[in-house]
Structure 1
Amino acid sequence: MSESEQRITCHIVEHFGVLSKEPSGWTREFNLVSWNNREAKYDIRSWSADKKKMRRGITLTGVECDALRTLLNVRFPRPRIPASSEPGTPHP
């Protein structure tokens, strides 16, 4: 079997969530995936409903995922919650 004909195997080690869903049933997901029985990496891609087909996606190492989180936190900062609104704080 030539290199271009080799089968790619994948195993979803952990499913973190669905980012979006298409009317066709395909979902864009954030998962931890092991490709070809290698160390699992973070993965964002679209999957068919039965998980037998996938589209192109992006795979990130833990370091790259941390860097992405930092960039997203800078781009989309969380609004500060006033101290009086925090859980456990008595209301006047």
Structure 2
Amino acid sequence: MAIQYEIIEQIGVISKGSSGWQKELNLVSWNNRPAKYDLRDWSDNHEKMGKGVTLSEEEVKALKKLLQTLE
């Protein structure tokens, strides 16, 4: 079973590995579902991906709040 995805918005690159893959934060629709924030490694053409995490808007807001407490 193939996973369908559509990158709705490319938000930004967090880092780039020596292989050319980039850790990116994007807004992605998985299997035609509503888009979620997605953090994972992507190949340069976005045809291959590594394991990652998807977050709802509420979860992103909670993460942002936590990150603001870091020194």
Gaps of 5+ in 2: none
Deviating runs (4+, > 6 A) in structure 1?
none
Q: Choose between structure 1 and 2: higher helix proportion.
A: 1
Q: CA deviation at 1:75?
A: 1.4
How many aligned positions are there?
A: 71
Give the superposed CA RMSD. Answer: 0.7
**What is the percentage of aligned positions where both structures have the same residue?**
51
Quick check: 1:9 aligned with 2:9? no
Quick check: 1:34 aligned with 2:29? yes
Q: Quick one: higher RCO (CA 8 Å, sep 6+), 1 or 2?
A: 2
TM-score for the superposition, normalised by structure 1: 0.75
Separation (CA, whole Å) in 2 of partners of 1:74 and 1:66: 13
Separation (CA, whole Å) in 2 of partners of 1:22 and 1:75: 25
* 1:57 counterpart residue number: 52
User: What is the aligned counterpart of 2:63 among 61, 65, 68?
Assistant: 68
TM-score for the superposition, normalised by structure 2: 0.96
**Structure possessing the higher radius of gyration over alpha carbons:** 1
Gaps of 5+ in 1: 1-5, 77-92
Which amino acid in 2 is paired with 1:17? G
Quick check: 1:48 aligned with 2:24? no
